[in-house]
C-alpha cells in the first residue's frame, strides 16, 4: 500500500505462513502513524469469515506492524486480469458474501471506503475483504472518526460514490454498497 510494506513470513511458533504489514519508516509522519494505528484497531475488531483477521500487532523502536493470515490465492483484480469478465453466477457467488461482510462491518460502525478488486482476496474461490487503511469509524462511542483532512477525498475513484469523491463528512455504509456494486 501507499503507507506500508507487506511481507510474507513464517510464524515460528506455529510454522504457518503469515503476512506482516509494516508502516514504512520513510512514511512515518504523524498522520500516517495514526492512520496505521487506526487501521490495526479497526481491522482487529472485525470477526467475520469474509474479512481477513488480525492475528497480532505490535511495534518496536517506532516501527508499527500487524500480522494477518496468509490468504493462499489471488486478488479479484488478478483473476479479472487473467480471465476477463466473470459470468453472472460467479459475480453473485462473490458479491453475496461480501455484502454480508459489509453489513456486519456497518453494524460495527465501520465504513471500509476502499472496496475494490485489489482489496478482495480469493481463498479457495471464496472472497475475503482486506485492507482497512482508509476505513472510517462512525460509532458514536469512537473518539476518532477518520484520519483524513477536512475536504480531502481518498480512495479509488473508479469505485467511489459521488459523496466520497467530494469528501462528504457524512459518508456512511451506503458508500461501501455503491463500491461493491461498481465492482460487480
Would you please indicate which residues are annotated as catalytic (active-site) residues? 114
CA dihedral 48, 52, 55, 61 (to 10 degrees): -140
Which cell numbers in the block locate residue 126? 471464496
d(CA 165, CA 144) in angstroms, rounded, equals 21
d(CA 147, CA 155) in angstroms, rounded, equals 13
Residues 6+ apart with CB under 8 A from 158: 116, 182
Q: 32, 137, 19: which is closest to 69 by C-alpha?
A: 19
Beta strands 73-75 and 136-137, pairing class: unpaired
Radius of gyration of the chain from Cα atoms? 16
d(CA 17, CA 123) in angstroms, rounded, equals 14
d(CA 123, CA 101) in angstroms, rounded, equals 15
Amino acid at each position: 500500500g501507499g503507507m506500508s510494506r507487506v511481507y510474507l513470513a513464517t510464524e515460528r511458533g506455529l510454522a504457518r505462513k503469515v503476512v506482516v504489514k509494516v508502516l514504512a519508516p520513510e512514511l512515518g509522519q504523524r498522520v500516517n502513524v495514526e492512520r496505521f494505528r487506526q487501521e490495526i484497531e479497526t481491522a482487529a475488531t472485525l470477526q467475520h469469515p469474509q474479512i481477513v483477521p488480525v492475528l497480532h500487532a505490535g511495534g518496536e523502536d517506532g516501527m508499527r506492524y500487524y500480522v494477518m493470515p496468509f490468504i493462499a490465492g489471488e486478488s479479484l483484480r488478478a483473476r479479472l486480469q487473467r480471465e476477463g469478465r466473470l459470468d453472472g453466477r460467479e459475480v453473485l457467488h462473490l458479491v453475496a458474501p461480501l455484502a454480508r461482510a459489509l453489513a456486519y462491518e456497518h453494524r460495527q460502525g465501520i465504513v471500509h471506503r476502499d472496496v475494490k478488486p485489489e482489496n478482495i482476496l480469493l481463498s479457495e474461490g471464496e472472497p475475503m475483504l482486506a485492507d482497512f487503511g482508509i476505513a472510517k469509524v462512525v460509532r458514536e462511542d469512537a473518539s476518532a472518526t477518520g484520519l483524513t483532512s477536512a475536504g480531502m477525498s481518498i480512495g479509488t475513484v473508479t469505485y467511489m460514490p459521488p459523496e466520497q469523491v467530494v469528501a462528504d463528512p457524512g459518508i456512511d455504509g451506503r458508500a461501501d454498497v455503491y463500491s461493491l456494486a461498481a465492482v460487480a
